[in-house]
Structure 1
Amino acid sequence: MDGVCFVVSDRSGDMDASPSDLVGLFSFDTRFLSRWVLTIDGQRLSPLSVDDLHHFETRYFLVPGQPTHYVSSTMTVIRHRTVGPNFGEQITLLNHRVEPVEVAVRIDAASDFADIYELGIPDLTKRGELTRSTGDDFLFLLYQREQFRRGTVVKTSEPAEIDLDGLCYRVRIPAHGSWTTELRVETAVQTPSGTDLRGEVRHQIRAAKQSNERDLDEFLAELPALNCEHAPLAQTYRRSMLDLAALRHPDLTTGRKMPSAGLPWFMTLVGRQALITSLQTLPFVPELAATTLEALALLQGAKIDDYRDEQPGKILHQIRYGETAAFEETPHSQYYGSVDATPLFVVLLDEYERWTGDAAMVRRLEQEARAALGWLDQYADLLGDGYLRHPPPTSRFEAANQVWKDSRAGICYADGRLPGSPVAVCEVQGYAYDARRRGARLAREFWNDPAYAQLLDQQADQLRDRFNRDFWIAGRGHYALALDADGTQVDALASNQGHLMWSGIIDADRAGAVVDRLMGEEMFSGWGIRTLGTREARYNPVGVHVGAVWPYDNSLIAAGMRRYGFRAEAGRIAQAILDTASYFQGRLPEAFAGYDRNSTLHPVWYPTGNSPQGWSAGAPLLLLRTLLGLEPRGDHLVVNPAIPPGLGQIELLDIPGRWGTLDAFGRPRSASRAPVAR
């Protein structure tokens, strides 16, 4: 994969998709190859091994037919594949015989140009026309619906017999000799307005780098260096950085890169995920935050559009480029159905300045930040009670809940009932509190508006007092997951309240009780904190939002505990998540099952999650920041480590920021529990 372009194939490298399969070559939410099958004399190939060389490069070692107990093939086939911004494949045949051999090598190629949304919504029908044509050295596949065009061009370096279904080579390979051809698949993307997005992105990428290899080398070279005694931590750090490099995609207007949400379903800009991934990675890759802020500011809501859930000042939820979005069969050409991305935009803007000292960015985005803060009052407070709420979905394309737990059951009562709409989810109130606090700082220090700063601080104070009164459930010792439309406390014990510590909205004298509930056996599995307590009616260890463990969720919870002074507990969470990563070769999945650690030898993979995923790759980085106690203070970087004994000594070198670059060191020592809210 590379940015918005990715391939899903079997272990032999073949792609043979049915209409609903997530298989093929995808770019800009469209499948450009649905069939790409290699045969030798009519036989499919079997894999011996697969080498993942880089995120954009894979090599397959294959033999014809189906080997039995012993592999005794007289031929080896090597497929060397690269992805991004187009698709290339080198096919090499090695003849192991003592005499020449003549074979027919064929690539079957086809495309249905499916929108990735069609794969999940099978009753969406295509209304365009699919045509095929050939030339001396190419096969051309074209889909056209009015001015919406998607094209696939397959080119070959060696002479071939090209028909409408693929390419055939009739080759003679000498004894112990080889034969090679280069295949290049170019994708053409055109919107209804006639803009060739692929051409623009290719131009920007080529202007910024000469090759994928150089781009990756430059990305890795600019990162802080991690030296540590715990080998799995070093593996996880490198894997996270490689995944972040792979998930970057260019902003269409500037060519600078920002994080995609995750492979395979969300290789695009998703506001909430991009903002949190940027927050997680600020001490390591601050340019991701800069690009994310500028891209979301450019796409900020400017009018009321109920179909797209757009409102003035609201921050984008996601953007899509496929056919269904282009013809408004789904609202995702620019979709704003998120209640939390808007306050998180202000949080990231302030945190970005704290780390980088980029005051020019804060001044340049003043109007967008003010508009986002204004949206909290003017549009998000649906009942006039001071709480951010989201309306119920009005179409099948909208999430049941416009928060990170967006499934219908993700927000529930302890007895399993589901609340009515509009619901006020707890962590969103924390984000709004944090956004107002940070907005006040920006207004005071950069916008020369002390009156506005005073207003925002006053609003934050009022929200904090109101929240701690209305959401605290004294009989259960934790905060409500949400408030129902009538103000009733939605009383399930859930991980969301850890986000409340991250935002700083909860009263310091209740922090200990919250930590006790989160670290108790109902919530802490030993591998991480579950999304829902085991005694709640809807608990399911493989339920995506009702029992599974999310690394991203845990990274915010650990940071929140550290904020309130619970260093040892934050360290336990960090070590649990990093232990989990070691079982997945350093790559944290989107989520994994919430089974108790005492009952499983290793964490149990959650089968339908995105992997790699932006905020899962960012989780180890925020955990490192938490363990080392990294905090910007003016032009200085404060380092206050609290390292669990199992992780050993940690050194993070050349941390970028407004101070230039600095080093941080930490080693295990006894950690006392001393809550100090800030």
Structure 2
Amino acid sequence: MKDLVSILDGNTFLVSDTRGDVEPSLDFPTGLFSFDTRHLSTWLLTLDGERLHALSVDTAESFRTRFFLVPGEPTHYLDAKVSVIRSRAIGGSFEEELTLLNHSGEEAEFVVRLDMAADFADLFEIKHVRSKQGHTTATVGDNELRLAYRREGFHRETVITTTSPAHVEVSGMTYRIRVAPRGEWTTRLHVSTVVYGARGEDVRANLPQYGGSRDPGAIRAEQDDLVARAPKLGCDCQPLAGAYRQSLNDLAALRYESITLGVRLVAAGLPWFMTLFGRDSIITSLQLLPFLPELISPTIMMLAGLQGHRIDDFRDEEPGKILHELRYGETAGFEEQPHSPYYGSADSTPLFVILLDEYERWTGDDRLVRALEAQARAALAWIDTYGDLLGTGYLWYQTRNPDTGLQNQCWKDSWDAISYRDGRLPGFPRATCELQGYAYDAKVRGARMARTIWGDPAYADRLEREAAELKMRFNRDFWIPEREYYALALDADGRQVDALTSNIGHLLWSGIVDESRAGRIAEHLLGPRLYSGWGVRTLADDQGRYNPVGYHVGTVWPFDNSIIAWGLWRYGFRREAGQICDAMLAASRFFGGRLPEAFAGYERSLTDYPVEYPTACSPQAWSAGTPLLLLRVMLGLEPQGEHLVIDPAVPEGMGRVELLDIPGRWGHVDALGRSRTPHDHPRG
């Protein structure tokens, strides 16, 4: 996304090139999108038939931007007689103000043209090109262009109006203008995206975020209010300060109003994932919990409300299972994709139990835990029934839907992410190692909730016994003695899928690793095969499928590293956890403080900067949450009953780190940490 510019407000966002133009592209989804449908596929400005070029782009705010443009190729010797400013904002709808400035001493005539089109493509149709099944119409009115799409009951519209007289055609609007010497001309364009329901009404009309245009000042105030409620960070480390500020701003921008339940949620990431995801939303919530805990309960309730209750092969749905992804577009509506919702992840369900427990430990909100007891029990039951496909006591996955279901249903869900050391791919079902860690942690946490909140000590005893048995079994079957690390997975025959991956760091976070083996795992994670200098790679560089720019086979994922740092901290490896924190924050400087979804796994000594992954989502929620979790790790924040334990271990050279007004069941407390000299660092 390096050469693209995006603005967003909730689930409505626009992605353009650096001139502000939108053209259909197979490389990346440019356009105006709302709830998984592209409402503008062409938005192209010309002046006297000529494309414009950007002198500068102002992208300081997430919901509005300005482009400063001139005709012709920009050079150091350019002496433009005319320039154009495109000021745009998104607030429920999209608005653009065009201002043309005549810099000459003579009156001049200009032809300003905006080509416009809406293909109403579903996001899945952009990823996998296919022809539309419905019918598109265009209606020309007085300074208005109305573009509509219908396919049976699926109805979307894009309505474009202009404040200045224009010649309106089905392909766009043309302005023939005269501008005085040193004068200017301005028009304002308003673009409404309409999502019609079964009764012919705009289903978003009663949602505050979509009930018409929102004033940019109101959006700014809302985002500022959210950021102001977070703990205040004071530190000597500028990368940390910048990343913290950017993360809070991005998480505020990614909030959207659910079209179904009317609650505010955090979308997973722009542009592909502007919706609720089980795994992403849960991990983001875990990262965010010590900072803005009030944002978490809507996500928990939404996931609980959409919990699986039947067997549906098409959607990979099973009783007790937590969803993977919820979509609102045409392909989901007509069941060409199973995302209404889709349940194809094996980790969302144990992670749901983990989040519910962690939420109560931080907030003391036992009412929510009591209210969702049935859902939590159903999730725990799923682990031992539908999740244990082979009856071996492990959590396995294999899609019920071979046509459109996901093959890999762990967080590394691309087709080639799970492999043997030599690069071969195992068959299905598969039991990846981190899934067993999540299942173990879910049982331990479920036992705590059963004993202290649900009043069921017998159930708690059973869960604790099952967790202990799982830990013993796992350390027997997944450990590779000759290599001294845990296998990535077991294949259907119970053989070890022996690739060395970052997944072993998630095992530390879950607590399933035997204490005697934790040191060796830490050494692998920070060793030269996995650790690039900027972070832990998803796959070690000597494995058969390693590719430093492969999506899950060699790139560095910030969220992954935040979980690994948390796991190292849990087992007492404070210096190693700090090393990852320091590397992530150093990398963030090269991305303007905004960590992307992923970046390349090249050695730090080879590039001296983290190399961008070309199609990484940015902003992405669990990447935005990464600096927050790193702060928790560096300050050693851990709830214990009604108190917050603070045990800082700030990496060398980072100086002072001070976090004020940390919210929780204890009220608000402050935490302060300072760098230690090398010999003072505890190793565990």
Q: TM-score range by the shorter chain?
A: over 0.9
Q: How does 1:550-569 map to 2 (within 5 A)?
A: 550-569=557-576
Which residue identity lines up with residue 174 of structure 1 in the other structure? A
CA drift of 1:396 comes to 4.6
Which residue identity lines up with residue 170 of structure 1 in the other structure? R
Task: Describe the SS at the equivalent of 2:205.
Answer: helix
Work out the CA distance in 1 between the residues paired with 2:594 and 2:552: 20
Equivalent in 489, 494, 503 of residue 487 of structure 1: 494
Equivalent in 605, 609, 612 of residue 612 of structure 2: 605
Give the match for residue 438 of structure 2. 431
Work out the CA distance in 1 between the residues paired with 2:403 and 2:653: 47
> How many residues in Structure 1 have an aligned counterpart in Structure 2?
674
CA drift of 1:136 comes to 1.4
Q: Structure 1 residues 646, 674: closer, same or farther in 2, change over 3 A? A: closer
Give the match for residue 47 of structure 1. 54
Work out the CA distance in 2 between the residues paired with 1:471 and 1:622: 28
Unaligned runs of 5+ in 2: 1-7
Please state if 1:572 is matched with 2:582: no
Q: How does 1:64-213 map to 2 (within 5 A)?
A: 64-122=71-129, 124-191=130-197, 196-202=202-208, 211-213=218-220
Worse-matched range after superposition: 315-324 or 14-23: 14-23
Work out the CA distance in 1 between the residues paired with 2:184 and 2:403: 54
Answer whether contact 1:593 1:606 (CA < 8 A) is retained: yes
Answer whether contact 1:146 1:192 (CA < 8 A) is retained: no
Answer whether contact 1:289 1:348 (CA < 8 A) is retained: no
Task: Describe the SS at the equivalent of 2:447.
Answer: helix
Answer whether contact 1:20 1:118 (CA < 8 A) is retained: no
Q: Structure 1 residues 615, 193: closer, same or farther in 2, change over 3 A? A: farther
Work out the CA distance in 2 between the residues paired with 1:303 and 1:614: 30
**Pairwise CA RMSD:** 1.8
Give the match for residue 405 of structure 1. 412
CA drift of 1:388 comes to 0.5
Give the match for residue 234 of structure 1. 241
Q: Structure 1 residues 193, 445: closer, same or farther in 2, change over 3 A? A: farther
Task: Describe the SS at the equivalent of 1:287.
Answer: helix
TM-score, length-scaled by structure 1: 0.96
Q: How does 1:209-228 map to 2 (within 5 A)?
A: 211-228=218-235
Work out the CA distance in 2 between the residues paired with 1:517 and 1:389: 25
Work out the CA distance in 2 between the residues paired with 1:330 and 1:97: 56
CA drift of 1:141 comes to 0.3
Worse-matched range after superposition: 234-243 or 190-199: 190-199
Per-residue Cα deviation, 1:33-84 (whole angstroms, up to 9, x for no partner)? 0111122222221111000031111100011233444221111211111123
Per-residue Cα deviation, 1:312-347 (whole angstroms, up to 9, x for no partner)? 110010011111111001111210000000000010
Which residue identity lines up with residue 609 of structure 2 in the other structure? H
Give the match for residue 299 of structure 2. 292
Task: Describe the SS at the equivalent of 2:17.
Answer: coil
Task: Describe the SS at the equivalent of 2:376.
Answer: helix
Answer whether contact 2:450 2:457 (CA < 8 A) is retained: yes
CA drift of 1:18 comes to 4.5
Per-residue Cα deviation, 1:420-444 (whole angstroms, up to 9, x for no partner)? 1111100001101111111111111
Which residue identity lines up with residue 582 of structure 1 in the other structure? R
Which residue identity lines up with residue 133 of structure 2 in the other structure? R
Give the match for residue 362 of structure 1. 369
Work out the CA distance in 2 between the residues paired with 1:203 and 1:60: 26
Answer whether contact 2:398 2:407 (CA < 8 A) is retained: no
Q: Structure 1 residues 203, 228: closer, same or farther in 2, change over 3 A? A: closer
Answer whether contact 1:192 1:326 (CA < 8 A) is retained: no
TM-score, length-scaled by structure 2: 0.96
Answer whether contact 2:91 2:213 (CA < 8 A) is retained: no
Answer whether contact 2:649 2:681 (CA < 8 A) is retained: no
Give the match for residue 34 of structure 1. 41
Work out the CA distance in 2 between the residues paired with 1:362 and 1:648: 39
Work out the CA distance in 1 between the residues paired with 2:310 and 2:299: 21
Work out the CA distance in 1 between the residues paired with 2:26 and 2:505: 41
Task: Describe the SS at the equivalent of 2:190.
Answer: strand
Which residue identity lines up with residue 384 of structure 2 in the other structure? D
Worse-matched range after superposition: 287-296 or 574-583: 287-296
Give the match for residue 260 of structure 1. 267
Which residue identity lines up with residue 584 of structure 1 in the other structure? F
Q: Structure 1 residues 660, 204: closer, same or farther in 2, change over 3 A? A: farther
Task: Describe the SS at the equivalent of 2:416.
Answer: helix
Answer whether contact 1:20 1:119 (CA < 8 A) is retained: no
Answer whether contact 2:313 2:400 (CA < 8 A) is retained: no
Q: How does 1:489-508 map to 2 (within 5 A)?
A: 489-508=496-515
Work out the CA distance in 2 between the residues paired with 1:384 and 1:393: 17
Name the % identity.
57
Task: Describe the SS at the equivalent of 1:646.
Answer: coil
Please state if 1:349 is matched with 2:349: no
Work out the CA distance in 2 between the residues paired with 1:673 and 1:486: 42
Please state if 1:591 is matched with 2:598: yes
Please state if 1:531 is matched with 2:538: yes
Task: Describe the SS at the equivalent of 2:204.
Answer: helix
Per-residue Cα deviation, 1:157-198 (whole angstroms, up to 9, x for no partner)? 222222222222232222222221111100011255756333
CA drift of 1:102 comes to 2.5
Answer whether contact 2:506 2:567 (CA < 8 A) is retained: yes
Give the match for residue 471 of structure 1. 478
CA drift of 1:105 comes to 1.9
CA drift of 1:203 comes to 5.8
Answer whether contact 2:204 2:259 (CA < 8 A) is retained: no
Per-residue Cα deviation, 1:350-391 (whole angstroms, up to 9, x for no partner)? 101111111111111111111111111121000101101001
Work out the CA distance in 2 between the residues paired with 1:658 and 1:157: 53
Task: Describe the SS at the equivalent of 1:390.
Answer: coil
